[in-house]
């Protein structure tokens, strides 16, 4: 899933190298509108609904955080 997440991030902001960041939001790679676009892509690609209360920067700070969010949205234990 990590590769698929990186592909989505690359499609969203191709000018950035997401493998070279510890925190996508703090490092300025994703802003709040990128997060909205990413949520739309995740919901479409994984057929999940992300809870509105989970739409906070820390859940989009890294590939691992995004993977955990997708897992949570699919009802998987994290």
Please give the residue ranges that form the binding site for another protein (CB under 8 A): 12-13, 15, 28, 31-34, 36-37, 39-40, 49, 51-53, 55-57
When the beta carbons of 17 and 51 are compared against another protein, the nearer one is 51
* Shortest distance in whole angstroms from residue 44 CB to another protein: 10
Please provide the distance, in angstroms rounded to a whole number, between the alpha carbons at the two ends of the chain: 15
* Shortest distance in whole angstroms from residue 28 CB to another protein: 8
Q: What is the DSSP letter of 7?
A: H
CA distance 58 to 24: 9
């Amino acid at each position: 899933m990590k590769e698929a997440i990186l592909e989505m991030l690359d499609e969203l902001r191709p000018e950035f190298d997401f493998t070279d960041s510890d925190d996508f939001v703090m490092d300025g790679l994703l802003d709040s509108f990128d997060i909205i676009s990413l949520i739309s892509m995740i919901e479409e690609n994984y057929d999940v609904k992300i809870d509105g209360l989970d739409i906070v920067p820390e859940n989009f700070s890294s590939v691992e955080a995004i993977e955990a969010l997708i897992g949570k949205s699919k009802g998987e234990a994290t």
